[in-house]
Amino acid sequence: MMLSPAGFLAIYRREMRAWFTTPLAYVFLAAFAFAAPAFAFNVGRFFDTNRADLAPLFAYMPWLLMILMPALAMRAWAEERDRGTLEILLSLPVSVSSIALAKFAAAWTVALAALLATIPMWVAVNYLGSPDNLAVAISYLGVFLLAGSYLAIGQALSAASGSQVTAFVLSVLASLFLTMAGLPLVTDSLSGTAPAFVVEALAYSSVLERFAAFERGVVGLGDLVYFLSLMVFGVTAGGLQAGASREGGR
């Protein structure tokens, strides 16, 4: 079915109410607001670099998002199934594609709110020095796209899973694969046993390789297409899996 703007907005508002009328969003935002600076200050040794930039923050974002985005995505469809509301949701006069996109957009909005919580660090580095603010903004764009990619994959697995815990575990594993695929640890270990094109394909699929360009302040068309393709794939796969329930498939 075609996307319905009215149906999309109705489901989007429903999802946002579900996030912010319960402690879920606030717990997530608090966890992100604590974890992101902790990685930058303690692991990235922000103050030891003697540089006024946010490189220590962005360097560890993929690893942080690899855990937090699955936690944000796991409830998308699995909670509906656990609570017995999936059939009611799918019986509404709204296309499955509109529902899937609205669920994704709502979760991505919460992720954006979490990223905005790190803005004081950006303000602080401007107070301490003169960072390249355009490069910082592009890095934030990369983090936002990376978060959306993890979310979309996580929501697809939520639609395919029988419980939120299963969805979370599978999403973390999928995110871990996408994150580590291009690391030398993986490619070097496979180079002697797997065909070269397989190793190259794994390296090409790594989100770290794509995100690195944004960290350098570069927006490449190929990198944009990569992240947007992951999001389209995840949202579509989740909608198709949920749509099978509407047709009596599950």
The model's pLDDT over 125-180, given as tens digits with 9 standing for 90+, comes to: 888 778 888 999 999 999 999 999 999 999 999 988 878 899 999 999 999 888 88
For 217, other C-beta atoms within 10 Å of its C-beta total: 15
Within the chain, residue ranges assigned H as helices are 5-20, 24-38, 55-59, 61-73, 75-83, 86-90, 96-116, 119-128, 133-160, 164-180, 184-191, 196-205, 207-215, 221-246
> Distance (Å, rounded) from C-alpha 98 to C-alpha 47?
46
Q: Mean pLDDT across the chain, nearest whole number?
A: 84
Tally of domains within the chain: 1
Under 8 Å CB-to-CB from 161, ≥6 apart: which residues?
Answer: 74, 77, 78, 167, 170
The residue-averaged pLDDT of 189-204 equals: 68
Query: In the numeric block, which tokens belong to residue 118?
Result: 């790190």
Contact 156, 76 (CB under 8 A): no
For 23, other C-beta atoms within 10 Å of its C-beta total: 10
Q: For residue 200, how far is the Cα from the chain centroid?
A: 24
Q: What angle do CA 217, 229, 71 make, to 5 degrees?
A: 85
Q: For residue 3, how far is the Cα from the chain centroid?
A: 22
For 56, other C-beta atoms within 10 Å of its C-beta total: 21
Q: Is 47 helix (H, G, I), strand (E, B) or coil?
A: helix
Query: In the numeric block, which tokens belong to residue 75?
Result: 């409830």
> Distance (Å, rounded) from C-alpha 112 to C-alpha 121?
16
pLDDT tens digits, one per residue of 37-55 = 877 766 555 555 666 677 8
For 153, other C-beta atoms within 10 Å of its C-beta total: 26
193 against 84, higher pLDDT: 84
Residues of the chain with pLDDT > 90: what percent?
32
Q: Give me the domain span that covers residue 150.
A: 5-246
pTM to 2 decimal places: 0.87
